[in-house]
Amino acid sequence: MKKYKILWTDMHSNLHHEHIKDLQKWIDQMKATMDFWPFAYYPFGMVRHESGFMVEDKYDDEAINKDWEYVRELTNKANDEGFPMFMGYEWQGAGKDGDHNVYFKDNEQYMAYPLRYQELKQHFEGKDAIAIPHHLAYQLGHRGKNWDTHCDKFSPFVEIYSSHGSSENDTGSIDMVRHIHMGPRTGMTCVERGWQKGHKYGVIASGDNHSCPGVYGFGYCAVLAESNSKEDIWDAFISKRVYGVSKDKIKLDFCIDDAVMGQTIKASKNSKLNLEIIASNALDRIEIIKDSDVFEMIPHTSTWEKEELIGKIKFKFKLDLGWGPDRRVFPDIESKHWTGSLRTPGKLLSIEKCWSNFNQKLENVTDNSCDFEITSYKTTASGKWMGPSAITTEGFIFEIEDDVDSYITFEINGIEFEVSISDLLYSSRVIPLLDDAMDLLKDRYDFEEYYRSDSWWHNAYKIKIGQAVPEIGYTRKIEKEIDTTDCSLVRIRGWQKNGGAVWSTPIFIEKGD
């Protein structure tokens, strides 16, 4: 069976007309965090209706066509520099078929704005163009997905999760409650409904980000490609070799009878399923799903915790930097600059960037050390619109190989401290910058004494070193026989203990005569 590389991206980042000059900044952010980038220009904005009411509509053609040429210029430049980037834009039409991001393989196409999905498909007939629906589970006729007009070839995969929440179904634990103006969600337009209607499409996750691309926790897309060339990535798109994660970059290898995600196999009583998950946090459970029903739930929690750890081990842990002064009290304090380093006598195997804002740096990475500069932000946004909600931390997931009796050394903003690996495997640690908070309240309010510590703790920046997880806690391999004669598709859903999820594209089943 052919082996593919896992390439990561945020496939739903919208930059508006009034901010299009930030595009190079967005490209640089994606180069720092992802393997390629399909960019979706947002040609809409709030305009005043003749009644005086503000409505969302397409911007003036002259303005957005000028923006599109700027997108073309920077996309060509990124491609010439070796970074795979695709041009795209958001299409909404009359709202009756659902919102879609339209992407092109080449950089020669132009935007079109028909009112219906079928007209959009016809307009790009014969072109290397795809249209990917998002936030599907909103109400039909009001920007939710219309499965009656869907075309699997034009839309080979769909967005199962984003900042809006999960559109998988209306019974799952990740609701669509953040963008309250568009809710609530409904099962009538959800992802599972399209499969039930006989469609064959894959799934991804991506952010629907309008303030910064690649926001941590809003969803990432994984693509199984032979290389990072645009041709091979596009082949993965149209072949549905894609999957989605809600926040951490969980590696997923899933096949049945040597067919990978997106492919179709013949039904068999004794098909052979092979699955490997390498998570970024402790793996909680894996669900094997036939059609829309969980066929088997395989726990991972409580299967490894009592294993004795001796000698050299691999482990992962997350470092978070942020929190800090309440902006209702200190409205002028919106960010914190951090400089730091990590040193290990062992081997630094991998570093996953958990970033949600610009101005982050990871530098001087060696086999046993790295340096970083981080800016964490506090926001007064309610989370109702498209900002990063109340994101207050930035960080990394480190993977290290070392003796269980060894240690890790950090230096952050001039504070040096050592953490033993055994202690980190036992529990997380929080290091508050209380002295800074005390100085702040003394300076601003001459506040020095109180009978409890809330005033200082609530306004202190903090460093959190998450509990470490050994390799046996974040990896799982499964090989088993499975009857595929009683379903039309098989897919995987996995959960980390921190709530992070992974959704596979299905492997589709073709029934015999």
Provide the sign of the torsion angle of the four alpha carbons 84, 90, 91, 96, taken in this order: positive
What's the pLDDT at 388? Answer: 52
Q: Taking a C-beta distance cutoff of 8 angstroms, is the pair 9, 36 a contact?
A: yes
> Residue 217 carries which side chain, given as an amino acid letter?
G
Question: Token pair of 403, please?
Answer: 């003796």
What's the pLDDT at 511? Answer: 87
Q: Is pTM, for the whole model, over 0.85?
A: yes
| CA atoms of 355 and 365, how far apart (whole Å) | 17
Q: Taking a C-beta distance cutoff of 8 angstroms, is the pair 120, 102 a contact?
A: yes
Which among 427, 433, 440 is positioned nearest to 412, based on CA atoms? 433
Beta bridge partners of 95: none
| CA atoms of 446 and 454, how far apart (whole Å) | 16
What domains, with CATH codes, occur in the chain? Answer: 5-247 (3.20.20.140), 312-471 (no CATH)
What's the pLDDT at 134? Answer: 98
pLDDT per position in the chain (513 positions), as tens? 678 999 999 999 999 999 999 999 999 999 999 999 999 999 999 989 999 999 999 999 999 999 999 999 999 999 999 999 999 999 999 999 999 999 999 999 999 999 999 999 999 999 999 999 999 999 999 999 999 999 999 999 999 999 999 999 999 999 998 888 899 999 999 999 999 999 999 999 999 999 999 999 999 999 999 999 999 999 999 999 999 999 999 999 999 999 999 999 999 999 999 999 999 999 999 999 999 999 999 999 999 999 999 999 999 999 999 999 998 899 999 999 999 999 999 999 999 999 999 999 999 999 999 999 999 998 655 445 555 555 679 999 999 999 999 999 999 999 999 999 999 999 999 999 999 999 999 999 999 999 999 999 999 999 999 999 999 999 999 999 999 999 999 999 999 999 999 999 999 999 876
Buried b (16+ CB within 10 A) or exposed e, 307-336: eebeeebbbbbbbbbbbbbeeeeeeebeeb
CA atoms within 13 A on the CB side of 170: 13
What's the pLDDT at 179? Answer: 85
What's the pLDDT at 2? Answer: 78
Place of tokens 């992070």: 500
Widest CA span of the chain, in angstroms? 83
The string of DSSP codes covering 135-153 is STTSPTTTTS--GGG--TT
What's the pLDDT at 265? Answer: 98
Please tell me whether the peptide bond between 345 and the residue prior to it is cis, using omega within 30 degrees of 0: no
Which among 386, 394, 390 is positioned nearest to 212, based on CA atoms? 386
What's the pLDDT at 446? Answer: 98
Residue 440 burial by CB count (10 A; 0-12/13-18/19+): exposed, middle or buried? buried
